[in-house]
Structure 1
Amino acid sequence: MKKLLLLITVFTFFVSCKNEQKEAVKTETTKENSLPPVDNEMMESAVIYEANIRQYSPEGSFDAFTKDIPQLKELGVKVIWLMPMYPISEKNRKATGGRDVEDIEDPEERKKYLGSYYSISDYKAVNPEHGTMEDFDELVETAHQNGMYVILDWVANHTGWDHQWITDHPDWYTQNEKGEIVDPINQDTGESWGWTDVADLNFDNQEMRKAMIEDMIFWVKEHDVDGFRADAAHSVPTDFWETAAKKIKEVKPVFMLAEAESPKDLFHNAFDMGYNWEGHHLMNSIAKGEANAKDWDNYMKKVDSTFQKDDFLMNFVTNHDENSWAGTVKERMGDASEAMLAMSYTLPGMPLIYSGQEYDMDKRLKFFEKDTIAKTKGKVYPILEKLGELKANNPALHGGKDAASYTAVKTSADKKILAYKREKAGAVIYYVANMSDKPVSFSTEIEGTFKDYIPGAEIKIAKDQKLEFKPWEYKILINK
């Protein structure tokens, strides 16, 4: 009997040692595969990709997106922003056309309405329509193995009506004089925004703030995400974001993106990057002939005087809001689309690719129901490849906290021709574009021999030489 006990003890010890060795190997492997922490250097040359998991594939699953992550390296993507992938509330769920799902009598008709991504019923879970938490973890790990960071869309302003906080902590929500929880109110008008599928959170309640920060930390600590895109960041008190960022960064460095019309007050202690909404709207206006190249020069002077040197913005020609509500790139920008795309990469800041943009998507994705993207490479994909390569490798396009300089270049047709120079560490890039729908003959201060980057040809420009640009023609010129 004693011999038997001795054998069992030895066997148990041997198995335990083997398990410890396996665990050590596993831990070491994880360390080898892990991505270096978010830092300023990464931000200088990064491209950010907005992933709409629901619409990215016919399956609408984490797995379907994960298998395509290695391909995103071809586009220079370094940050993946996942649109909300949490469970969606069923109560007060919205349908297409402004209807409430509850008002639809046909049960089969009701089933197709999946609700708004931004009506969240649980901050610490994943939408089962996309898969499991293990599937989500695999997505994050695959991104890290491919040199990409993952940030989550964080909806702090409101929750869905099914959120457990509604039942457990009604005082965490904004209430009217009758003590009823209300949907978000436009502070300027005192009226509802019409977002009746969500309940407005009360940021005067410190316990709610604490719980929300704990939920954000959950994703960083337990699932290794690398930061957050803050939905409607301007609608939430800045001191909340400052406290949240400080607490989260005690776990690890993270990347913080603010969705805000005027993000200048949200930087430094809270966010790394803000939306370039004003610049985007101006791009749309130029494409429609409602504004011109001179207006852009004036806008950049405003940016220079408004923001601090290490503030930077996200540049885009489309995103989920623009695509679903304002129109496709072609609808808004027409023949100017490619010039605006190239411009978004050559400006100071970080360029955005929205799911489907790389595949020439020319339809408005449905917002409240299932849709999908036809993943066929056309004209845009190879352009994004070239722009991504340039952004990644040429310091003249650094756009983060230590961005390359931006200097407006004079031309003889300043209202129609937009020209500017980016420069850093001896590298120089010029962007020159006809921002009109008519041919333009002009001269410019630019002089020398350059590589015309997109076609890859050499081009010589003499002093006072007359240049002829077709409507919306552009050139990215690299010093040789």
Structure 2
Amino acid sequence: MKTALLMALVLSGAVHVSVHAAAPDAYQPKPYVQFQHAEWTKNASIYQINTRQFTPEGSFRAAERELPRLKALGVDILWLMPIHPIGQAKRKGTLGSPYAVRDYLAVNPEFGTLDDFKHFVAAAHAQGLHVILDWVGNHTSWDNVLRTSHPEWYEKDRKGQPHPTPWYDWDDIIDLDYQQPGLRRYMTDAMRFWVREAGVDGYRVDAAGLTPLDFWEHAAAELRAIKPVFLLAEWESRDMHARAFDATYAWTWWEGLRAVAEGKADATSLYTYYAWNQKFYPKQAYRMLYTTNHDKNAWDGTEFEIFGPAVDAAIVFSFVSEGIPLIYNGQEAGNRKRLAFFERDALQWQASPYTALYTKLLAMKKQHSALWNGDWGATMEQVPNDAPKQIFSFVRQNADDKVFAVFNLSGQPVQAGFRDDLHVGRYRDFSTEALVQVDGGTRFEMAPWSYKILTKAE
């Protein structure tokens, strides 16, 4: 009754309602990403080094000899798997998992000394390369040095004992407790140590989402106060990009492309990933694209096992799609071996046409600004075609550059025609280097699992 009376008085003008205007900037859009990417990441690609398997010696000094070759290949960021001593307690295999860290401030003697590592980083910098370390923040080995000095920094089970990450078969590690302020300070200082003392340029963070995001945001700010760093999260959450990480894994891209290669889905199934990538993730976000990495190679199979006849198209796709591409060591040599995870299993280096393919892809990414990372590059725009279940086609363009990409993501030959005029232009063919004029009537004969990449002609 009182509410009805009040409304009547308001409508009659007997009661005046005062509306307080919001501050002028209350309705202004605010940037989601609160930090700047290092400029040297704008057209960068990542090369992952499994130090144990990278050379016959499995050492930093041996890996250092490969730096001129990696520079010539065209990579920019070298990601080294964990370099720290590995726990002895409950060790898996002979040498154990690099992700069961015994001491965050020391170097695994299997690889060399701290001075050897510093020498590697300095030599990489001399080549114009950047080095990031694999950081394992969620858990340690059972015999990590912190078990003695700070047992309170570990999560406890119902019996009051440290425990592995629930549900996984990670029984060689135990979880840390990030409710402990002392642990947060220690971990941040340890990460700062490797940036200050060894000159590393950032981190790939293992299982990043299993550690509270506010920790990573604080640690990232402290690292960036030292110098511009690159931070890659092994996770796929948008929130990782706001204040902490430059890049996240594009797990769903890999899974989607695998389903297409296995014939379980068609090209249109990738639309969901790209819709989310464009509308849900900030434009500044780098999504890491890959056909394999240390986990996929060891546990799922090589890229040749996983993608079969689609492997070349998948590799090329990872370079022309929006994202920062990854090469796992040995891919440029066409490695077809699953590398052992807990033992020495050195790569067999050999001449391979994949060396030329990766060299050419890396050069194209650097030369064509439309393909650069995050908002340095251009958004993918769909080019409608008349065989959408088989053909995936798009353009990436900015004021200075344009790339038209067409993939036949099927095991059948397809003649592809296109609608609208987004794709029209004069190009150079990535594969043949021939000049190509594309107009509204252009059609492409696409072999099974083939691609055509056209870059703006000068």
Match of 1:208 in 2: 183
Q: CA deviation at 1:73?
A: 1.7
Match of 1:479 in 2: 456
1:255 aligns with 2:253: no
Aligned to 2:214: 239
Select 1:421's aligned residue among 392, 395, 407. Answer: 395
Correspondence for 1:139: 120
SS in 2 for 1:126: coil
TM-score, with structure 2 as normaliser: 0.89
Alignment partner for residue 331 of structure 2, among 342, 357, 361? 357
Shift of 1:297: 2.6
Distance in 2 (CA, whole Å) between partners of 1:450 and 1:194 is: 51
The one of 173, 181, 188 aligned to 1:198: 173
Which residue identity is paired with 1:457?
A: A
Provide Cα deviations, 1:305-348, integer angstroms capped at 9, x if missing partner: 21112112111111001100111001000111111111100011
The question of whether the paired residues in 1 share the 8 Å contact of 2:38 and 2:229 is answered with no
Alpha carbons of structure 1 residues 117 and 347: separation in structure 2 relative to 1, 3 Å: same
Secondary structure at 1:264 match in 2: coil
Q: Could you tell me which of 371, 391, 394 is aligned with 1:397?
A: 371
Q: Give the Å deviation of 1:465.
A: 3.2
Decide which moves more: 454-463 or 342-351: 454-463
Does structure 1 residue 91 correspond to structure 2 residue 72?
A: no
Higher helix proportion (structure 1 or 2) = 1
Counterpart position of 1:339 = 313
Match for 2:77 among 73, 76, 79?
A: 79
Matched, 1:267 2:267: no
Residue of structure 2 equivalent to 1:3:
none
Alignment deviations for residues 86-139 of structure 1 (CA, whole Å, 9 cap, x no partner): 1000100012xxxxxxxxxxxxxxxxx100010010001111011111110111
Under a length normalisation based on structure 1, what TM-score does the superposition of the two structures give? 0.85
Report how far residue 39 of structure 1 moved. 5.0
Q: Indicate the SS of the match to 1:207.
A: helix
Deviations along 1:136-190, one digit per CA (max 9) or x if unpaired, are 01110011011111110000000011211111211100111222111112xxxxx
Instruction: Give per-residue Cα distances to partners, 1:225-281, cap 9 Å, x unaligned.
Output: 111111000111000101111112222221111001x22111121111111111011
The one of 408, 415, 418 equivalent to 1:444 is 418
1:407-418 correspondence runs (5 A): 407-418=381-392
CA distance in 1, matches of 2:88, 2:119: 28
Q: Say which SS state the counterpart of residue 395 (structure 2) adopts.
A: strand
Deviates more, 1:70-79 or 1:140-149: 70-79
> Helix, strand or coil: the match of 2:437?
strand
- Measure, in 1, the Cα distance between the counterparts of 2:374 and 2:385: 28
Identify if the C-alpha distance between structure 1 residues 420 and 283 changes in structure 2 by more than 3 Å, giving closer, same or farther: same
2:60 corresponds to which of 56, 59, 62 = 62
- Paired residues in the alignment total 419
| Conserved? CA contact 1:448–1:460, under 8 Å | yes
Match of 1:6 in 2: none
Q: C-alpha deviations, 1:386-425, integer Å up to 9, x for none?
A: 0010111111111234321210111100110011111123
Could you say what secondary structure the match of 1:441 adopts?
Answer: strand
Distance across 1 between alignment mates of 2:265 and 2:327: 24
Match of residue 18 from structure 2: none
Q: CA deviation at 1:466?
A: 3.2
What is the rounded CA distance, in whole Å, between the counterparts of 1:309 and 1:39 in structure 2?
Answer: 12
RMSD of aligned Cα (Å) = 1.3
2:404 aligned counterpart, secondary structure: strand
Code of the residue aligned with 2:79 in structure 1: it is W
How far apart, CA to CA, are the structure 1 residues paired with 2:443 and 2:189? 61
Q: Name stretches of at least 5 consecutive residues in structure 1 with no aligned partner.
A: 1-37, 96-112, 186-191
Residue 109 of structure 2 is aligned with which of 100, 122, 128?
Answer: 128
2:369–2:376: 8 Å Cα contact kept in structure 1? Answer: no
Which amino acid letter does the alignment assign opposite residue 171 of structure 1?
A: E
Aligned position for 2:28: none
**Are residue 154 (structure 1) and residue 135 (structure 2) matched?**
yes
Which amino acid letter does the alignment assign opposite residue 157 of structure 2?
N
SS at 1:257 equivalent? strand
Q: Distance in 2 between matches of 1:425 and 1:114?
A: 53
Distance 1:40 1:84 in 2: 23
Cα contact 1:297–1:408 (8 A) shared by 2? no
Cα 1:131/1:324, change in 2 over 3 Å:
same
Identity of aligned residues (%): 39
Change in CA separation of 1:40 and 1:223 when aligned onto 2, cut-off 3 Å: closer
Residue type of the alignment partner of 2:279: S
Answer yes or no: is the 8 Å Cα contact 1:79–1:150 preserved in 2.
yes
Question: Given residue 415 of structure 2, which amino acid in structure 1 is its aligned partner?
Answer: S
Amino acid at match of 1:45: N
**Counterpart Cα distance in 2 of 1:394 and 1:326:** 33
1:219 to 194, 205, 208: 194
Q: Secondary structure at the match of 2:277?
A: helix
1:367 alignment partner AA: F
- The correspondence for 1:168, drawn from 145, 149, 154, is 149
Following TM superposition, the consecutive aligned residue runs of length 4 or more in structure 1 with deviations greater than 4 angstroms are none
Matched with 1:43 is 41
What residue in structure 2 maps to residue 115 of structure 1?
96
Counterpart of 2:256 in 1: which secondary structure?
A: helix
* In 2: Cα distance, 1:420 partner to 1:351 partner: 18
For 2:376, what is the secondary structure of its paired residue? coil
1:329 corresponds to 2:303:
yes
Structure-2 change in CA distance of 1:40 and 1:454 (3 Å): farther
Deviation (angstroms), 1:460:
3.3
